[in-house]
Amino acid sequence: MKRHLVPSPSIERIALVSRRAPWVLSVALSFATLTRVASAAPDTPPPPNVVPAAPGAEDLLKRLRDRVAQPGGLTSERVARRAVQTSPEDRSRAADVDSVAAEVTRSNVGYYPRLTLTARYTRLSPITPPTLGTVAAPADQTLSPRTPITGPIVAFPVTFPVILDNYMLQANVTVPLSDYLLRIRQTHDAALSSEEASAITREATRRTVAAQAKLLYYSWARVLMQQAVTEQSVEQSRRHLELARAGRDAGRMPEVEVLRAESAVASAELLNERTTNAGIVAGERLRTLLHDESDAPYLIGEDLLAPLSPPPVDRPDALYGEALQKRPEMRAIERSDSSLRQQRTAAQSTGLPRLDAFGNGYVANPSPRVFPQREEWKATWDVGVQLSWSPNDLGGEDATTRSIDAGRRKLDAQRAAVKDAVRDEIRAAVVATREAAVAAETANRGLTAAEESYRVRRELFELGRATDVELIDAETDVLRARLEMIQARVDARVARVQLDHAVGRDALPSP
């Protein structure tokens, strides 16, 4: 009875080895060379059941199942969420948002009339008070309405007191009437646009961090699944060594083939060691990204063996139009440009005359409005309108507007660069998505055929109707098919992340 094995998504990881570590296939292909001499005596078929059973598809599937969908393991969403929460880039962007928000608060203050409170003490230098004339009066008698003058009359000088200590409390209110029309509203709108642009830029940074975290997660998970292949490769090479030794002991194989088999075992063990070390390095990179100080080993919590439904892929032009609407980078540039336009409008009013309404309240001792001065506190007030203009403001207005215009030209260049980058990202992601879908289907059929061929070759070999070279070739085909299947499955997930990010469909991971 024929046994058909259903290709599993788990095979996807191993296929990546053929791209990232092509020497894996070299080790596998060396197994074919290993036993070619074993067929030197084709007229003497090997006795049945002398070859130990090589690890098959069921064994590989079990190894992969033991590595994925682990309870409490990491998933791409969990890694993305943790990476965003601990990202230094996100903290930097959050500080930018807070800084711009402070500018919005400052622009709100411009709507309020300016209130100035002043307390002043002044010590005047002593002076000789001026004489306004003289007046005749008794020298030693106080005048009263009904008291006759009895003493001699003397001329006294007429003077006013000079108060040397002056105290004043002043409250000033200025209402910038012209600024309400020409500057304050524009400055406030510019600050709001800058705040929106900063918040959108932070969102773009968070999405980029999340996408990079997912790609790093799949890279790490790929290496862990590659270990299943290398471990199985070691077992397979060791069983070939047993075959070579059995052939040598039976006189059907020279000693050199045993040495080749031992070399193949060493190569497979080296490959397995390198893959293990690559897994350690990938795990440490992931730990650094997550800023995880613990030493707990990571497990794959996502079921990477499950089939991935293909996303609806439109034409690149349609995806490009969608990206221009959804990508946060484009929206951030638009808000920044709006902010610069508002700033330019406000700057153009700098050279115009200013119209201000003002009012002052005074409490002074002595009051400058009381004559003659007396050492007592007196409250007074005044209100008015003031029109002012300075020709020096014209130079500042020209410099400011030229600086803003340069900033807008820079934004235009950035917009064009982002559009080009988005177009390239979409085209690459669309091609990768389609290629992964075709590769998965092709690898699926290839794996089914390779496993069935291996099963038939093994049965024939056990019956003495096939050579060990044919069996090794079949095993090599199975290994290659498994590698291609894993590669196609992982490429499909990587392409999905890249396409969603390029189009702007990737939402931030939920907290």
What would the CATH number be for the domain defined by 11-112+181-352+391-503? 1.20.1600.10
Structural domain spans, the chain: 11-112+181-352+391-503
Q: What is the DSSP letter of 304?
A: T
The whole-number pLDDT of residue 86 equals: 92
Burial of 128 (0-12, 13-18, 19+ CB in 10 A): exposed
Q: How far apart are CA 449 and CA 91, in angstroms?
A: 53
Binned at pLDDT 50, 70 and 90, residue 264 comes out as: confident
Q: What is the chain's mean pLDDT, rounded?
A: 80
CA atoms within 13 A on the CB side of 292: 16
Residues contacting 167, CB < 8 A, separation 6+: 120, 121, 122, 364, 365, 377
Is the bond preceding residue 368 a cis peptide, omega within 30 degrees?
Answer: no
- Helix or strand or coil: residue 136? strand
Cα separation, 52 vs 49, in Å, equals 7
Which pLDDT does position 425 carry in this prediction?
A: 92
Task: Give the C-alpha distances (Å, rounded to integers) separating 282 from 74, 219, 460.
Answer: 14, 7, 43
Tens digit of each residue's pLDDT (9 = 90 or more) over 382-423:
999 999 988 887 777 888 899 999 999 999 999 999 999 999
Nearest to 195, CA basis, from 336, 400, 346? 336
Q: Mean pLDDT across the stretch 274-285?
A: 92
The pLDDT assigned to 461 comes to 60
- Residue 438: what pLDDT? 85
Q: Which pLDDT score is estimated for 6?
A: 34
Residue type, 486: I
* Chain Cα centroid distance, residue 74: 20
At residue 468 the predicted structure's pLDDT band, cuts being 50, 70 and 90, is low
Per residue in 24-68, pLDDT (tens digit) is 433 343 333 333 333 333 334 444 334 455 556 677 778 888 888
CA dist., res. 294 & res. 291, Å (int): 9
182-198, pLDDT tens digit by residue? 889 999 999 999 999 99
What string of DSSP letters covers 397-455? HHHHHHHHHHHHHHHHHHHHHHHHHHHHHHHHHHHHHHHHHHHHHHHHHHHHHHHHHHH
Residue 79, pLDDT above cutoff 60? yes
pLDDT-derived band at 433 (thresholds 50, 70, 90) equals confident
Range ranked top by mean pLDDT from 11-15, 59-63, 144-148: 59-63
More confident residue, 352 or 50: 352
Query: Quick one: how far is CA 329 from the chain centroid?
Result: 11
Confidence of residue 241 (pLDDT cuts 50, 70, 90): confident
pTM: 0.72
Confidence at residue 191, expressed as pLDDT on a 0 to 100 scale: 92
Beta bridge partners of 355: 387
**What percent of the chain has a predicted confidence (pLDDT) above 90?**
36
Given the DSSP bridges, would you call strands 114-123 and 165-176 parallel, antiparallel or unpaired?
antiparallel
How many C-beta neighbours within 10 Å does residue 158 have?
10
Per-residue pLDDT at 144: 59
